[in-house]
Chains A and B, each alone.
Chain A
């Protein structure tokens, strides 16, 4: 396997920054941000904010318009970004991009705003040799914390260096292009350290399909304050609102992240709301993650990144809910 010394990462990033807009995990801000030489990287764990905004920004203008009395016109604001390189994403977040691809690129309609950025982004992942945080449970969600195939280049953490493995044709070309920075190593990838948070997921999706009316939802939703923090931190939550800003005769329509935890989310003109209370909203969120999305796309919509359980102000915990679901005795 090829390898690069960890001390050489900044040199690699300096070089690739000539070709790409490079996005790196930044310490402090705890999110992915443009690389600048000397910026402090967070390479020992996932970032608090997931990388979904690289493809699906928190707010994104879709088209601008102008109006003049009864007249009006509009122009798409779709742009193709400069090639970008997303460096250092963890296997859990790689899986989340796979989930977002299902949503934005399949079922007959390609979301051109997402596709423009996704097609133009080169992915380099870094494996975890164990749980990076006490809230990590990716392994229980069927993810290999150390390795992933759905990137262009993957880096194995070998202590003082990263093992470099191309995972796509583009990745092969990349490794060849920057070969001067890589040396051969015989070092082995270490065994994965044991996770402290472990779940049994077998049959949970099927069981949930029979639990729509179960009193569990009333119980677990009681403490939710509907703040939506879980949905903003979630790497796979992709719901959005479409709204407009108008100033005089000019305006633009944009989309922005929305949350299924908000009461207005499903409220229709006229007032009818199919999910009127916390119970329906919390139930929908967990069923979407664990039953509806698997039914629709064949993948869980939870990657086990642990962000929601680490930051929920009232300690809502999807792992705990999964455990409770497993304990339910369906008569």
Chain B
């Protein structure tokens, strides 16, 4: 009997689909990047840069992560070992079944960024969400002006995405990568110092309507914002991405609100101008 073609069910907002870990990259002692495909080798869904995905180990738990980048057939999640689920993920091996749902959230304002010079600032694992946009810009290089990445971590061993920051990105046309660490080691030749001080030292110009996209630990963000203000960046051109505890990802479960905004739906990407109209509760 001929099989009648059945329209694919729309992806449920709350029930995930099964996926497989197809590759694991050890980035640092406590960060691994997990490449996830469907069991038949396809991309679970196609997120926009900056969007989120809910990833779970079926018998452990579920949590929201930024999707750090994607390939034609997979999504990548860079995950720091920091709780029950992430501990279990770090123990997982290639071939492990996971479940995944999404994409959620607004993503980075790509149209707003087009044609402009972009400054990316990351601290620690905070480079993970920013990397989705950096890679988009690299892949669509002609749509953007000059690209600069300022990235810092606690130590040289804690730098994530070493292939990108040391090899791939510096080779891209009109793209500059500046690295710093809080504490160097015997082999570290680069800058030593916190990210905000490094920004002031490099003094990137806000001219040409340059847009700054930053993500990192809250304390780093706080001081970076002061540095960017000193350099003359406009609040509308400073863009960050927030983290909150989430259970549903679709604006129903209630906990990720900042005032009347839900980070899972209206964020996670906000401009500083937007954040200044919201209660400081994040």
**Count of A residues near B, CB < 8 Å?**
51
Chain B contact residues, CB within 8 Å of chain A: 12-16, 18, 56, 58-63, 82-86, 92-93, 95-97, 99, 218, 243-245, 247-248, 250-255, 257-260, 265, 279, 281-282
CA distance A253 to B56 in the complex (A): 11
User: Are A246 and B14 in contact, with the CB atoms below 8 A?
Assistant: no
Choose from B18, B83, B251, B257 the contact partner of A73 (Cβ within 8 Å). B18
Choose from B83, B99, B243, B247 the contact partner of A241 (Cβ within 8 Å). B247
Chain A contact residues, CB within 8 Å of chain B: 62-63, 65, 67, 70-74, 76, 78, 103-104, 107-113, 212, 238-242, 244, 246, 251, 253, 255, 258, 260, 265-270, 272, 274-275, 280, 284, 287-288, 291-293, 295-296
Count A-B pairs with CB separation below 8 Å: 128
Q: In the complex, what residues of A have CB within 8 A of residue B254's CB?
A: 238-240, 258, 260
Choose from A108, A113, A275 the contact partner of B265 (Cβ within 8 Å). A108
Q: In the complex, what residues of B have CB within 8 A of residue A104's CB?
A: 252
Closest residue to A65 on the B side, CB-wise? B58
User: Are A71 and B97 in contact, with the CB atoms below 8 A?
Assistant: yes
Q: Tell me, rounded to whole Å, the shortest Cβ–Cβ distance linking B94 to chain A.
A: 9
Q: In the complex, what residues of B have CB within 8 A of residue A296's CB?
A: 260
Closest residue to A247 on the B side, CB-wise? B59
User: Are A111 and B97 in contact, with the CB atoms below 8 A?
Assistant: no
User: Are A76 and B15 in contact, with the CB atoms below 8 A?
Assistant: yes
Choose from A76, A242, A293 the contact partner of B253 (Cβ within 8 Å). A242
Choose from A62, A251, A274 the contact partner of B58 (Cβ within 8 Å). A251
CA distance A242 to B255 in the complex (A): 12
CA distance A103 to B252 in the complex (A): 6
User: Are A292 and B257 in contact, with the CB atoms below 8 A?
Assistant: yes
Q: In the complex, what residues of B have CB within 8 A of residue A253's CB?
A: 56, 58, 62
Q: In the complex, what residues of B have CB within 8 A of residue A70's CB?
A: 92-93, 95-97
CA distance A241 to B252 in the complex (A): 10
User: Are A269 and B83 in contact, with the CB atoms below 8 A?
Assistant: yes
Closest residue to A68 on the B side, CB-wise? B97
User: Are A270 and B253 in contact, with the CB atoms below 8 A?
Assistant: no
User: Are B16 and A74 in contact, with the CB atoms below 8 A?
Assistant: yes
Q: Could you jot down 28 A-B contacts, CB within 8 Å?
A: A62-B14, A63-B15, A65-B59, A70-B97, A71-B97, A72-B18, A76-B12, A108-B250, A109-B13, A109-B265, A111-B13, A111-B250, A112-B12, A112-B13, A212-B279, A239-B253, A239-B254, A240-B247, A240-B248, A240-B253, A255-B14, A258-B253, A258-B255, A266-B244, A266-B255, A274-B281, A274-B282, A295-B260
